[in-house]
Amino acid sequence: MEQKLPAHRAREYETIFIVHPDAGTEVIDRVAGRCQEVVGKLSGKLIKAENWGRRRLAYPVRKNSKGIYLYLRYLGYSDLVHELERNLRMLDPVLKYMTVKLDEDVDPAARPVREEDISFMPQYDEDDRAAPVEAAVATGTQAAEPAEAREDAADEAGETGETGETGDSDDDGAATVEE
């Protein structure tokens, strides 16, 4: 039988769930609203909510190779986790989810929540990161930041006589560069 915590104590959990990659902002808002509603209804406290954006999955899930990752950190009890996972299971756009207990016997009053910590606007999108590199390849130039860093390293190496590159030395004396 599970031990009950006092009413003024809770457990800290985090849930990461993956939404269908073609889901629009209205679908993400609906899923996020449902999660916030469940946490509020069962006397939980949402500490942090983030949208990690569209990322490649380690393996295909329901024939999708990408998904939109959403992260929740909250305080509550095991009945809250059960209800949240039940709701995620019923939502069609949710591909997968996972909940982990982070801490036991947490005082909810000791965990302040900043308004900017709860946002479901995407913070990172894999396609945005790849865009400058793809544009540079299309024009035949290198991306600005890495090229500048390489030129600075080459200038410093020329003055001091060092290579400026780090790597492991092979048996024949050649260095292998790790980027």
CATH code of the domain in which 63 resides = 3.30.70.60
Average pLDDT over residues 8-37: 92
Q: If you average pLDDT over residues 78-88, what whole number do you get?
A: 94
Residues 101 and 147 in one domain: no
Same domain, 114 and 51: yes
Please indicate whether residue 79 or residue 168 has the higher confidence score (pLDDT). 79
More reliable by pLDDT, 15 or 146: 15
My answer on whether 60 and 141 are in the same domain is no
Across the strands, what pairs with 140?
none
Residue at 98 is within a domain: yes
Pairing of strands 167-169, 175-177: antiparallel
Based on the fold, state whether residues 86 and 64 are members of the same structural domain.
yes
Range of the domain at 156: 128-160
CA neighbours closer than 13 Å in the CB half-sphere of residue 135: 8
Give CA angle at 171 (166, 172), nearest 5°.
90
Instruction: For residues 68 and 44, state if they share a domain.
Output: yes
On whether both 134 and 73 belong to a single domain, the answer is no
What was the pLDDT predicted at 113? 77
Band of residue 123 on the pLDDT scale cut at 50, 70, 90? low
At 114, is the secondary structure helix, strand, or coil? coil
Confidence of residue 106 (pLDDT cuts 50, 70, 90): confident
Same domain for 55 and 111, yes or no, is: yes
Q: Are residues 140 and 68 in the same domain?
A: no
Quick one: average pLDDT of 54-75? 95
List 46's β-bridge partners, or say none: 74
Number of domains in the chain: 2
* 96 and 62 fall within a common domain: yes
pTM higher than 0.75 for the full model? no
Helices 78-90 & 25-41 angle (0-180, nearest 10): 150
65 and 107 assigned to the same domain: yes
In terms of phi and psi (left: phi > 0; alpha: psi -120 to 50; beta: otherwise), the region of 84 is alpha
Residue 116 banded pLDDT, cuts 50, 70, 90: low
15, 32: one domain: yes
CA 130 to centroid of chain Cα atoms: 17
Output the average pLDDT for the chain.
Answer: 75
**20: number of Cβ within 10 Å:** 19
Q: Is residue 169 in a domain? A: no
Decide if 166 is inside a domain.
no
